[in-house]
Amino acid sequence: MRVSYVLPLLSLFLSQTTAAALGSSPHKLSTLRQCQTTGKNCPEGTIIVSQTNTTTSKKQIYKTIQSAINTLPNNTHPATILIKAGTYNEQLNITRAGPITFIGETTNPKDATANQVRITWSAANKDSTGQSVDNVYSSVLVVAPTLESSLTGSGTTGYAVPDDTPFGNVDFRVYNVDFVNEWSDYSDGPAHALSLSRANGGFYYCGFFSYQDTVYIGKLGNAYFYKSIIAGQTDFLYGFGTAWIQSSKIQLRGCGGGITAWKGTNTTFTNKYGVYIVDSDVRAANTSIAPDIIGECALGRPWNSQHRSIFARCTEDGSITASGYIDWVVSGVARFQEGVTLMAEYAVSGAGFNRTGRIEGGVTTLLDRKAWKGYSEPERVFQEPTGEFGNVGWIDWGVIGEK
Ligand SMILES: *[C@@H]1O[C@H](CO)[C@@H](O)[C@H](O)[C@H]1NC(C)=O
Ligand SMILES: *[C@@H]1O[C@H](CO)[C@@H](O)[C@H](O)[C@H]1NC(C)=O
Ligand SMILES: *[C@@H]1O[C@H](CO)[C@@H](O)[C@H](O)[C@H]1NC(C)=O
Ligand SMILES: *[C@@H]1O[C@H](CO)[C@@H](O)[C@H](O)[C@H]1NC(C)=O
Ligand SMILES: *[C@@H]1O[C@H](CO)[C@@H](O)[C@H](O)[C@H]1NC(C)=O
Ligand SMILES: *[C@@H]1O[C@H](CO)[C@@H](O)[C@H](O)[C@H]1NC(C)=O
């Protein structure tokens, strides 16, 4: 009796605090742009990280980003961190539930190629003795409430995250920051730039650079990318959660596996966990690599049979293989399952789109307008952990609409 009385109250409290945190954007767009270009008029309480300016007249300035993160109380108050131009060689780990915004200093906020803040780390999924470790340990940035919730694990369902794990960050935002995993300049095992699980994160004009498994969106992870750059060679968009990549650049630094490798999950409710790449440009990273990969790169492959990914209204250059997606056969067992696996395209164009090749290949679904409709807006795919659709209050619509 007592338990059933307390639980609804607790969940009411939690949904109210979440709503309060999400209801108001942590900053105005004009404030954000001024803060990152001039360092002035930053949101109240902005914490500054700088490698060069250690003036401690009034305000403490942190030298590393993680030392600034570590000062944040574990509560629901929004926090803003201004990161001054520079290259920061550190791994970041965000467990807190309260909103956090990273503002990267830049003179050109509407161009990710001009970013002046780089966060670098060099690691793959191996320890110093060469023994394999979980992919999470390689990541430049981890956003997840606990270590267990961030583990990739193995098998069709991945690491079994305990059910009582809390949700992590409800509203994490990053503007104009590059995350670079410098482990190698070819695929040499999973080497994350980003790992985000049980959290909501928006990335605007950001860069994610690695070769293998660059971006991992884990269980109950929701990630939105806008006008960003995601570079890799093998399975470089992978995970269990939901990712929406809008008006961005997918850069092929070679071919291997596929661009996307998703694992679906069985839930008691309908889920649309998957990766949606929309109005984006998919092409060779540069003109020297382009001739070497013509017709060689796959759009994706099924990490398990319930893989879901859609390239919608994208431009694809000639690097893309004729069949579009490919199957993944492990020990003679093909993972592609008709009617279960969704590896799709909608209204794509460019030299990489070969209709005959797609049909002959037999694994790529060409969606018509009606079939695309069910996925056509972030509202239709981002879900609350309990399954309700429309979990988009953490997306910065102001930046998206910016002139
Ligand atoms: C260092 O940072 C402080 C606080 O933001 C600022 O007032 C000062 O002008 C900065 N100095 C330089 C040399 O950038
Ligand atoms: C932070 O607070 C949440 C919610 O109260 C709690 O579940 C979590 O264990 C706390 N984390 C730490 C590191 O104290
Ligand atoms: C992130 O920080 C949490 C809390 O300190 C810790 O338990 C976890 O192991 C860290 N994650 C990684 C990948 O190091
Ligand atoms: C082109 O991209 C490849 C793959 O990332 C890289 O190895 C090479 O250095 C790049 N070349 C130039 C000229 O940037
Ligand atoms: C989901 O359920 C189906 C039907 O029971 C099963 O074949 C499949 O292996 C399950 N997939 C996962 C990822 O658990
Ligand atoms: C398109 O795919 C078909 C079937 O694989 C192939 O025969 C044809 O050469 C491809 N066309 C181009 C332009 O690559």
Q: What does 18-44 look like in DSSP terms, one character per residue?
A: HHHHHHS-SS-HHHHHHHHHHS-SPPT
pLDDT, averaged across the chain: 93
Contact 375, 237 (CB under 8 A): no
Alpha-carbon distance 198 to 196, whole Å? 7
DSSP 8-state class, residue 65: H
| Cα of 265 from ligand 5 centre, angstroms | 8
The share of the chain scoring above pLDDT 70, in percent, equals 93
- 221-226 and 199-204: which strand pairing? parallel
| Cα of 319 from ligand 1 centre, angstroms | 47
Range 34-160+167-395 classified under CATH 2.40.70.10: no
Q: Is the CB of 136 under 6 A from ligand 3?
A: yes
Alpha-carbon distance 28 to 101, whole Å? 12
Of 12, 377, 271, 19, the closest CA to residue 170 belongs to 19
What pLDDT is attached to residue 3? 37
Average pLDDT over residues 144-162: 98
The ligand that comes nearest to the alpha carbon of residue 84 is: 1
Q: Is the CB of 74 under 6 A from ligand 2?
A: yes
What pLDDT is attached to residue 374? 97
pLDDT at 1 over 60: no
Instruction: Give the number of the atom of ligand 6 that is nearest the alpha carbon of residue 351.
Output: 13
Question: What does the pLDDT look like over 264-280, one tens digit per residue?
Answer: 999 999 999 999 999 99
Q: Is the CB of 73 under 6 A from ligand 2?
A: no
What pLDDT is attached to residue 54? 76
Contact 264, 301 (CB under 8 A): no
Instruction: Give the number of the atom of ligand 3 that is nearest the alpha carbon of residue 195.
Output: 13
**Residues enclosing ligand 5, CB less than 6 A?**
156-157, 264-266, 304, 306
- Domain ranges in the chain are 34-160+167-395
Average pLDDT over residues 111-116: 98
Question: What does the pLDDT look like over 174-205, one tens digit per residue?
Answer: 999 999 999 999 999 999 999 999 999 999 99
Question: What does the pLDDT look like over 312-345, one tens digit per residue?
Answer: 999 999 999 999 999 999 999 999 999 999 999 9
**Closest C-alpha to ligand 6, atom 13:** 354
**Closest C-alpha to ligand 5, atom 8:** 266
| Cα of 151 from ligand 4 centre, angstroms | 31
| Cα of 266 from ligand 5 centre, angstroms | 6
Instruction: Give the number of the atom of ligand 6 that is nearest the alpha carbon of residue 361.
Output: 5
Alpha-carbon distance 205 to 280, whole Å? 13
The ligand that comes nearest to the alpha carbon of residue 146 is: 3
Q: Is the CB of 362 under 6 A from ligand 6?
A: no
What pLDDT is attached to residue 17? 39
What pLDDT is attached to residue 348? 98
- 61-62 and 221-226: which strand pairing? unpaired
Q: What is the pTM of this model?
A: 0.93
Which contacts qualify for 232-238: CB closer than 8 Å, 24 or more apart? 232/259, 233/186, 233/187, 234/187, 235/259, 235/260, 235/261, 235/301, 235/303, 236/210, 236/211, 236/212, 237/261, 237/262, 237/275, 237/277, 237/300, 237/309, 238/213, 238/262, 238/263, 238/303
Alpha-carbon distance 119 to 64, whole Å? 10
pLDDT at 11 over 50: no
Q: Is the CB of 360 under 6 A from ligand 6?
A: yes
Question: What does the pLDDT look like over 238-253, one tens digit per residue?
Answer: 999 999 999 999 999 9
**Closest C-alpha to ligand 5, atom 6:** 266
**Closest C-alpha to ligand 6, atom 8:** 357
Q: CA of 293: how far to CAs of 75, 220, 252, 254, in Å?
A: 48, 34, 9, 7
Contact 152, 182 (CB under 8 A): no
Question: At 27, is the pLDDT very low, low, confident or very high (cuts 50, 70, 90)?
Answer: confident
| Cα of 94 from ligand 3 centre, angstroms | 8
The distance in angstroms from the start CA to the end CA of the chain is 56
Question: What does the pLDDT look like over 294-309, one tens digit per residue?
Answer: 999 999 999 999 999 9
What pLDDT is attached to residue 77? 94
